[in-house]
Amino acid sequence: MLRFAIIGCGSIAQRHAQHIANNGLLVAVCDVVKEKADALAAKYNAVAYYDLTDLLEAEKTVDIVSVCTPNGLHAQHSIQALRSGYHVLCEKPMAISVNDCGEMIKVAEHYNKRLFVIKQNRFNPPVAAVKQAIEEGRLGKIYSIQLSCFWNRNEHYYANTWKGTKELDGGTLYTQYSHFIDLLYWMIGDVKNVQAFTANFAHKDTIEFEDTGVAILEFYNGVIGTINFTVNSHKKNMEGSLTIFGEKGTVKIGGQYLNELEYQNIEDYQIENLPTGNTANNYGDYQGSMSNHDKVYENLVDVMTNNASISANAFEGLKTVEIIDKIYNAAILKR
């Protein structure tokens, strides 16, 4: 049985702990806020630590460290765990700088350790079905895409937390929509050129970056596309969708979290009998992406014990950060 430790005992760590309990043993947890570490440790009969170095020096029977700390600390904590001899599962985004992602990969390779990256939206049934259709050539040559990310994140979401800061959050695309950007790379390909505009309309006193943006993308394979994103959808999440226009078909994956196949018109082909997906991650005042962490952990165990194929590797985590970095570097901040 694989033995795990969790670094960072906030909201997402609760979900990690639940799925670790179903797939292995949670041995230790760590958080600089003593109460958070104590509460999670008590729930799963684990040992609580308040300093990462103490955990890494003491818990030598741990196999995998799950990094659930703020975005801006992912690289530092992952690298420290890798250097201490542990495999790492890192929450999204992998980091908030391209250089940090590269350093994480170099350290994992040097110490011959696995570096897993959370990309749970790949497991959404309509996403997996459309990915398969593309790989089988059902859509023919892909012409263009449209990605829409319309959620609500109000002042309560950002209050008294690291979210909304440049140093630890990084930007709306990192914290809210990195899963969506990952799917562009996974399903369409790598991005060559970007033009973009961003603005902060409704969160000027709340966050240190944009709450809205539009981007035009040119992919290396010739596909062109747009991203339209905001966290200003009135009072609740509206939509997370990806529309793909191809030579032999058009499909739209929609719903609030890329969880519904809203439209399909494919030559001599029909996507049918999709299984029901998991519900969205529910954090009380707001909802996030689809809750497929169970499948992430099942794949991790399969990789570690049966040498299976990894669902999302560190290179793909790097590519997601690269695309976001290109968008932000190209963006003209309007307000």
* 3-state DSSP of the chain: CCEEEEECCCHHHHHHHHHHHHHCEEEEEECCCHHHHHHHHHHHCCEEECCHHHHHHHCCCCCEEEECCCHHHHHHHHHHHHHCCCEEEECCCCCCCHHHHHHHHHHHHHCCCCEEECCHHHHCHHHHHHHHHHHCCCCCCEEEEEEEEECECCHHHHCCCCCCCCCCCCCHHHHCCHHHHHHHHHHCCCEEEEEEEEECCCCCCCCCCCCEEEEEEEECCCCEEEEEEECECCCCCCEEEEEEEECCEEEEEECCCCCEEEEEEECCECCCCCCCCCCEEECCCCEEEECCHHHHHHHHHHHHHHCCCCCCCHHHHHHHHHHHHHHHHHEEECC
Q: In this structure, what token pair is assigned to residue 210?
A: 């944009």
pLDDT in tens, 278-321: 555 444 554 554 679 999 999 999 999 999 999 989 999 999 99
Distance CA 242, CA 252 (A): 6
- Least confident among 110-119, 215-224, 279-288: 279-288
Q: Does CATH place domain 3-117 in 3.40.50.720?
A: yes
User: What is the reported pLDDT for 285?
Assistant: 54
**Mean pLDDT value across the chain:** 95
Mean pLDDT to the nearest integer, 166-191: 97
Domain boundaries, the chain: 3-117, 121-287+314-333
pLDDT in tens, 225-236: 999 999 999 999
User: What is the reported pLDDT for 276?
Assistant: 75
Distance CA 97, CA 139 (A): 34
pLDDT at position 107 over 90: yes
Strands 331-333 and 191-199: parallel
pLDDT in tens, 123-154: 999 999 999 999 999 999 999 999 999 999 99
Q: In this structure, what token pair is assigned to residue 168?
A: 């630890």
**CATH topology match: 3-117 vs 121-287+314-333:** no
Residue pair 321/191 in contact (Cβ under 8 Å)? The answer is no
What global pTM score does this model have?
Answer: 0.94
Distance CA 138, CA 267 (A): 8
CA 173 remoteness from chain centre: 10
One of 3.90.1150.10, 3.30.420.40, 3.90.180.10, 3.30.360.10 is the CATH number of 121-287+314-333, namely 3.30.360.10
Mean pLDDT to the nearest integer, 205-217: 97
pLDDT at position 264 over 50: yes
Dihedral angle sign, alpha carbons of residues 101, 107, 109, 113:
negative
Q: Which residues contact 258 (CB under 8 A, 6 or more apart)?
A: 121, 124, 126, 127, 180, 183, 240, 241, 242, 289, 290
User: What is the reported pLDDT for 281?
Assistant: 47
